[in-house]
Structure 1
Amino acid sequence: MIRLNLVLLVAVLASAFYLVHTQYESRRLYTAVDRAQAQARKLSSEHEQLQVQKRAEATPARVQQLASRQLQMRPVNPAITQYVTVFESPAAAQPGGTKQP
């Protein structure tokens, strides 16, 4: 009878330790999930802020401003446009003609 009581006592103690360990792991995992969700929310809000900044930087007015200030570019107009024409030599235009070096 004493052996049976000792076996049952050991089984109850093992069960109690396993239950405490399981609850501890459950709480630890729950806090890890909670931290991961908080990090995901933070990253999501940062991503949205970066998207807004990206759209603000890519507006045509902003690009025009940067091009004129930093790159000293100016809008094209007929007064400053230069047209280049290509002249072909008569020998190159004829099939089978020889080119002069």
Structure 2
Amino acid sequence: MAKINLMLLVAVLLSGVVLVHNAYESRRLFAERERAKNEGQRLASDAERLKAERHAQATNLRVEQVARERLGMRVISPALVASGVTP
């Protein structure tokens, strides 16, 4: 009888240890999932911001502005084209 009681006590203790370990692991995984979810939301927000910036940089007005400022390009008149004069 004492042997059975000892075995049952060991089984109860082991199941308690397993239960505590599983609860700890569950909390750890939940916290990790929340961090990953927050990171995903941050990345999605950054992606939307970058799309908006890319769209703003690709407008015709912006392209013309960059062509004038950085490349020194200017609008050419039809008279210059017809006469063959290079500016």
Instruction: Tell me whether the two structures share a fold, i.e. TM-score over 0.5.
Output: yes
Deviation at 1:78, TM superposition (A): 2.5
Which residue identity does 2:32 align to in structure 1?
A: A
1:35-55 deviation line (CA, Å, top 9, x unaligned): 000000000001111111111
2:14 & 2:83 partners in 1: Cα distance? Answer: 92
Larger Rg: 1
Unaligned runs of 5+ in 2: none
Q: Which runs of 5+ in 1 are unaligned?
A: 85-101
Aligned Cα root-mean-square deviation (Å): 1.7
For the pair 1:61 / 2:55, whether they are aligned, the reply is no
Equivalent residue pairs, number: 84
Moved segments of 4+, more than 2 Å: 75-84
Percentage of matched positions with identical amino acids: 44
Q: Give the Å deviation of 1:83.
A: 8.9
* Higher relative helix content: 2
Q: Matches of 2:82 and 2:26 in 1, distance apart?
A: 75
Q: Secondary structure at the match of 1:80?
A: helix
Deviations 1:53-83 (A, max 9, x none): 1111111001001101110112233333379
Cα 1:62–1:4 shift into 2, 3 Å: same
